Structure 1
Amino acid sequence: MSTFFTFVSWLLLFGYWLLIAGVTLRILMKRRAVTSAMAWLLIIFILPLVGIIAYLSFGELHLGKRRAERARTMWPSTAKWLSELKQSHHIFATEYSDVARSLFQLCENRQGVAGVRGNQLQLLTSAEETMAALIRDIQLARHNIEMVFYIWHPGGLADEVAESLMAASRRGVHCRLMLDSAGSVTFFRSPMAAMMRNAGVDVVEALQVSLLRVFLRRMDLRQHRKVVLIDNYIAYTGSMNLVDPRFFKQDAGVGQWVDLMARMEGPIATTMGIVYACDWEIETGKRILPPAPDGNIMPFEQESGHTIQVIASGPGFPEDMIHQALLTAVYSAREQLIMTTPYFVPSDDLLHAICTAALRGVDVSIIVPRHNDSLLVGWASRAFFTELLEAGVKIYQFESGLLHTKSVLVDGQLSLIGTVNLDMRSLWLNFEITLVIDDAGFGGDLSHVQDDYIARSRLLDARRWSQRAWWQRIVERLFYFFSPLL
């Protein structure tokens, strides 16, 4: 009997070390950043069982077999649709400003379509303003409404949007609503989901969270886009979830969330529509390619309209696109670079690009919230401050709530706004969307918004920062260790 138990013990020990060796080899064979690989290896060797379970759950980009197959099969029809869209030569831009040219060329080469011109574009700087405009557009909708949000939180103005959406569905408008399962868990647990479905709204719970799927699909891969499309002509996107800040995370101790949204009219709605169609097909298996723009879709002359490019990321879309776009934008800066983000955990390449811009004389400012709703990200982001300050980057800490706006402004001309945080999750994992706008007028509008953020912020003093307590430095470095995984 003792011989049997000895044999079983050795067999279990051999299996244990074989599992560690197998996962280690898998990490080494995957092409990833060295810092990320080292972080995973250290976690697995220090806490083997916890590390292995965490890696199998979150270490690789698993979309799931069914969704991955849909992502592969949708591209022939999508490519054909894009080919037909290119025949509408009148909607595509052929000239760009000097600062924007390289970024638009990158997007066209990797995504297959150029920037579209002749769009009307309006910045919306508050939840009240955004939802009032959204309700008005929903009430005027005649054919179809498509929405995707990471978070829909019932209460306040969000309920008014829901009522207008259900009313539109009852009068015959085809309404589709896709919400992330994890982000919108409160919505799906509330009566609102059933009410909308009863009203005829096609509600889809994207990337459902389930312990049964934990090893079949990466659970922290999220649908993080915020998009509204109305009648294939009006489009919204930006940083705002469908929440009323007065009713959302009031117990987090960070104040109300501050966001920025863009409302657009014109052919940009068509290119955003193809992104939504791909997301819908990956999640549901149903194809809803938008109609090609007709000849009358450009009411705004090229001189007064805005040139916009859409960048979409996530499984099934060009890999590393968002990261490459940000690097290109930062390296294009010659005079001024302003960035706002709630979560600042950049890659080494992006950190180096930002510091290099400051060192070559560009006026670089980064605006982040003083108090963050994520303890991990809040501490990890501070680990980068010393290097940024030494390079001459100005760091502003926003004090009037949680600054949730994601924006980049280069030389007052090139703007990037959307859903992308400056962290690893947004850069390489989630379904995200960003608008690239080449227009000095819009750049001026965004600059005014950013100036308002700066006026409500505290400039971080380099000397005082260097004198912070030793325990803070230790905590920062501890969380910095996990930064490749955040």
Structure 2
Amino acid sequence: MAELWQWVLDHGVVVITYIFLAIDVILRILGLVVVPRNRRPGSALAWLMAIMIFPLLGFPLYLLLGKAQLPRKRREKQKVINRLMHVRAHDIPDSELDADSPSWLQSAVNLNRELGAFPLTGNNSADLEIDYDTSLSRMAEDIRAAESEVHVLFFAMALDTTTQDFFDALAESAARGVKVRVLYDHWASLTHGSVYRAMRRHLDAHGIEHYPMMPVKPFRDGAFQRPDLRNHRKLLMIDGQIGWMGSQNLIAAHYNKRANIRRGLHWQETMARFRGPIVSEMNLLFATDWYYESAEMLSEADLVQAPVDTSGTYECQLVPSGPGFVFENNLALFNQLFYSADRRICAVSPYFVPDESMLAAIVTAARRGVEVELFVSEIGDQFLVFHAQRSYYSELLAAGVKIWLYRAPTILHAKHVTIDDSVTVIGSSNMDIRSFLLDMESSMMVGGTDFIQKMYDVEDVYRSRSRQLTLEEWEQRPVPMRLLDNLCRLASAVV
């Protein structure tokens, strides 16, 4: 044994080299066996390329970020929630669609229910708000009118000069005996530093119960947890009668970041304010996230309230999605609507990085004569995603898709789709792989001619603030920029 050890010491460089080569080969073989299982081909190829080029780095990263799966305890809670929702969904039939609704809209409703969405409800009303400060002011006004409960859930939350009135409204309502519950994504809010801490101190000072969602505690569940699974929803419900949802976070329009302020960046949002039976469904979705973080199961009797206002004419269906669901609910819904469109598609997404199926659906729609418009920002705030989405522009433009670039220095952060004159989907979901696989999202499918017209009016505003990108202009961009876009596209597939 001593002689063997001495030989190892004498030939250390050779031994280390062979060990390194053995590990290198083993990791490559493990990658070929493990990575392709139950994974879309593009993602599998991207991971395999990373592992084959840098096995000592790529394989550990795959173990860290390779599975879009909730922690075990959360999966167990998700099963409980799914069983309860299935029982409730069985007992509550969908509302009847209007007689003039296209046949494919009923198919979309059925698809959503199969994937875990809430029932279609009728007699809802809704309006839109696209001014950043006005939406915050209106939400604060609704909170101040609360009588029993306020439920708040936002991806990013902070107490700053822009949101001060909103948090003051929460404190005033809590002081009047209104039950206020607050949820916010841990990482998305924590990264804002002092204004995040100010928010927590404010909530604590006024006795408001609050929890961070998806807390970044890698080994909290006794096993490693993927740290970039986030809750991206934005919801506000008051007394089960008024519900807000859309794209806006509860933070200043420049996100209090020095780089954004220096560049003059600020965010353009779209929020929808609902009244009617759909608000109870929004309350139920909030209750699922509340259960995940607090372990408190809120009673259905408290969450589902008889609507005071049933004068509306909109049919609404709430569609949750995220890693807690077996299928990619939001992607399935978008694709079904794109293939069903007969005349017109308008898609608004700040981060547009479609998978192969969505790209095919959009290109096919454009080539069969559907007028397709895509609104994106002229500049981006996320380097990788911004350049990845640009890699799709050539194919989209060649197919006849009209691409509108919302002018800098504004980031168009709104997220919604309109199909023909029939249906709108609005909510928190981007059209990128992160929103399809990694983020917990909420989308609202709305049917109603009047609401469609409101969306058209919003799209007209966007159009007036944008410039149209042409294929000729795009094909003249520098070769290095094309290479960068394509490289980022490849990297974006690693999920």
Normalization by structure 2: what TM-score?
0.91
Match of 1:49 among 49, 52, 56: 56
Which residue of structure 2 lines up, in the alignment, with residue 333 of structure 1?
Answer: 341
Which residue of structure 2 lines up, in the alignment, with residue 92 of structure 1?
Answer: 95
Which residue of structure 1 lines up, in the alignment, with residue 150 of structure 2?
Answer: 145
After superposing the two structures, state which structure 1 stretch, 338-347 or 308-317, moved more.
308-317
Q: Aligned partners of 2:308 and 2:384: how far apart in 1? A: 46
2:211 alignment partner, SS class: strand
Q: Post-superposition shift, 1:480?
A: 1.4
Match of 2:181 among 154, 165, 176: 176
Q: Aligned partners of 1:244 and 1:113: how far apart in 2? A: 32
Match of 1:277 among 287, 302, 306: 287
Q: Aligned partners of 2:172 and 2:26: how far apart in 1? A: 59
Match of 1:404 among 413, 417, 439: 413
Normalization by structure 1: what TM-score?
0.92
Structure 1 segment 201-220 matched on structure 2, within 5 A: 201-210=208-217, 216-220=224-228
Report if aligned partners of 2:421, 2:449 keep a CA contact under 8 Å in 1: yes
Do the aligned partners of residues 293 and 283 (structure 1) sit closer, same or farther apart at CA in structure 2, a change above 3 Å counting? Answer: closer
Q: What is the RMSD computed on CA atoms of the aligned residues?
A: 2.3
The letter of the residue matching 1:233 is: Q
Report if aligned partners of 1:227, 1:236 keep a CA contact under 8 Å in 2: yes
2:405 alignment partner, SS class: strand
Q: Post-superposition shift, 1:113?
A: 4.4
Q: Post-superposition shift, 1:297?
A: 2.1
After superposing the two structures, state which structure 1 stretch, 125-134 or 261-270, moved more.
125-134
Q: Aligned partners of 1:369 and 1:53: how far apart in 2? A: 34
Report if aligned partners of 1:267, 1:293 keep a CA contact under 8 Å in 2: no
- The reply to whether residue 22 of structure 1 matches residue 30 of structure 2 is yes
Q: Post-superposition shift, 1:445?
A: 0.6
The letter of the residue matching 2:60 is: I
- The reply to whether residue 110 of structure 1 matches residue 118 of structure 2 is no
2:245 alignment partner, SS class: strand
The letter of the residue matching 1:69 is: E
Which residue of structure 2 lines up, in the alignment, with residue 62 of structure 1?
Answer: 69
Match of 1:468 among 477, 481, 484: 477
Q: Aligned partners of 1:175 and 1:353: how far apart in 2? A: 42
The letter of the residue matching 1:394 is: K
Unaligned runs of at least 5 residues, structure 2: none
Which residue of structure 2 lines up, in the alignment, with residue 299 of structure 1?
Answer: 309
- The reply to whether residue 266 of structure 1 matches residue 276 of structure 2 is yes
- The reply to whether residue 228 of structure 1 matches residue 236 of structure 2 is yes
Q: Post-superposition shift, 1:414?
A: 1.0
Do the aligned partners of residues 236 and 290 (structure 1) sit closer, same or farther apart at CA in structure 2, a change above 3 Å counting? Answer: farther
Report if aligned partners of 1:120, 1:265 keep a CA contact under 8 Å in 2: yes
The letter of the residue matching 2:439 is: N
Query: Alpha-carbon deviations, 1:154-204, whole Å to 9, x = none?
Result: 212311111111221122111111111111012675232022023111110
1:349 alignment partner, SS class: helix
- The reply to whether residue 368 of structure 1 matches residue 376 of structure 2 is yes
Q: Post-superposition shift, 1:250?
A: 5.5
The letter of the residue matching 1:475 is: L
- The reply to whether residue 481 of structure 1 matches residue 486 of structure 2 is no
Match of 2:431 among 416, 422, 432: 422
Report if aligned partners of 1:62, 1:216 keep a CA contact under 8 Å in 2: no
Query: Alpha-carbon deviations, 1:461-481, whole Å to 9, x = none?
Result: 211211221111111111111
1:57 alignment partner, SS class: helix
Report if aligned partners of 1:414, 1:443 keep a CA contact under 8 Å in 2: yes
Q: Post-superposition shift, 1:247?
A: 5.7
The letter of the residue matching 1:403 is: L
After superposing the two structures, state which structure 1 stretch, 470-479 or 2-11, moved more.
2-11
Q: Aligned partners of 2:362 and 2:419: how far apart in 1? A: 12
Which residue of structure 2 lines up, in the alignment, with residue 323 of structure 1?
Answer: 331
Report if aligned partners of 2:218, 2:226 keep a CA contact under 8 Å in 1: no
- The reply to whether residue 393 of structure 1 matches residue 401 of structure 2 is yes
Report if aligned partners of 2:182, 2:211 keep a CA contact under 8 Å in 1: yes
Q: Aligned partners of 1:137 and 1:424: how far apart in 2? A: 34
After superposing the two structures, state which structure 1 stretch, 151-160 or 333-342, moved more.
151-160
Report if aligned partners of 1:238, 1:260 keep a CA contact under 8 Å in 2: yes
The letter of the residue matching 1:135 is: A
After superposing the two structures, state which structure 1 stretch, 250-259 or 455-464, moved more.
250-259
Which residue of structure 2 lines up, in the alignment, with residue 121 of structure 1?
Answer: 126
Unaligned runs of at least 5 residues, structure 1: none
The letter of the residue matching 1:372 is: G
Report if aligned partners of 1:156, 1:247 keep a CA contact under 8 Å in 2: no
Q: Post-superposition shift, 1:318?
A: 4.8
The letter of the residue matching 1:197 is: D
Aligned length: 479
Q: Post-superposition shift, 1:109?
A: 3.0
- The reply to whether residue 163 of structure 1 matches residue 168 of structure 2 is yes
Q: Aligned partners of 1:208 and 1:39: how far apart in 2? A: 28
Q: Post-superposition shift, 1:360?
A: 0.7
Do the aligned partners of residues 54 and 235 (structure 1) sit closer, same or farther apart at CA in structure 2, a change above 3 Å counting? Answer: same
2:259 alignment partner, SS class: coil
Using the aligned pairs only, state the percent identity: 28
Do the aligned partners of residues 425 and 295 (structure 1) sit closer, same or farther apart at CA in structure 2, a change above 3 Å counting? Answer: closer
The letter of the residue matching 2:461 is: D
Q: Aligned partners of 1:346 and 1:424: how far apart in 2? A: 7
Q: Post-superposition shift, 1:305?
A: 2.0
Match of 1:77 among 84, 87, 92: 84
After superposing the two structures, state which structure 1 stretch, 4-13 or 279-288, moved more.
4-13
Query: Alpha-carbon deviations, 1:295-350, whole Å to 9, x = none?
Result: 9526334xx42110111001333521111100011111111111111111111111
Q: Post-superposition shift, 1:290?
A: 3.4
Which residue of structure 1 lines up, in the alignment, with residue 445 of structure 2?
Answer: 436
Which residue of structure 1 lines up, in the alignment, with residue 137 of structure 2?
Answer: 132
The letter of the residue matching 1:329 is: L
Q: Aligned partners of 1:41 and 1:476: how far apart in 2? A: 20
